[in-house]
Amino acid sequence: MSVTIRLSLPPKGLHAHNKGSWKSKAGPTRRYREEAFVVALGSKRKFKRRAVLSIDFYWPDLRRRDSLNAAQGLKPAIDGLVDAKMIRDDNWQALSIGHIESHLDREKPRVELTLTDAT
C-alpha cells in the first residue's frame, strides 16, 4: 500500500547551492517542515518498517532545473514526515529513494512524495 503527500514546491532558498546563512534559511525551513507535518497527520498512514520514497516535481514552466538540487530542498519536508510519525526515521535503514522525476503542470505546481512499503 502506498500514500502520496502533496506539498508546495520547496522554497528557493533551500536548494543545494543557496549560500545563505542558517538564519536566513530558518524561517522557510520551519514553515516547509510544518506544512509536511500537517499534511502527514491528515493521512493517518504509518510506515513501521522501511519505506521507499518516490519524488515527483510538477514545475510551472519548462525552465531547466536540477532535480537533485530540488530534492535536497525537501529535507525539511521529510523531517516533517518523521515528526508526524508517518515514517520511523529518515536514515538509510528506514527510508530509501525510489525515483526523482520532473513534470510540467502550469496550473498546479507542486511536489508529490509517494511512500510505499519496501519489500
| Domains defined for the chain, CATH in brackets | 2-117 (3.30.1330.70)
Cβ atoms of 21 and 28 closer than 8 Å: no
pLDDT tens per residue, range 30-60: 999 999 999 999 988 999 999 999 999 999 9
pLDDT tens per residue, range 57-116: 999 999 999 889 899 999 999 999 999 999 999 999 999 999 999 999 999 999 999 999
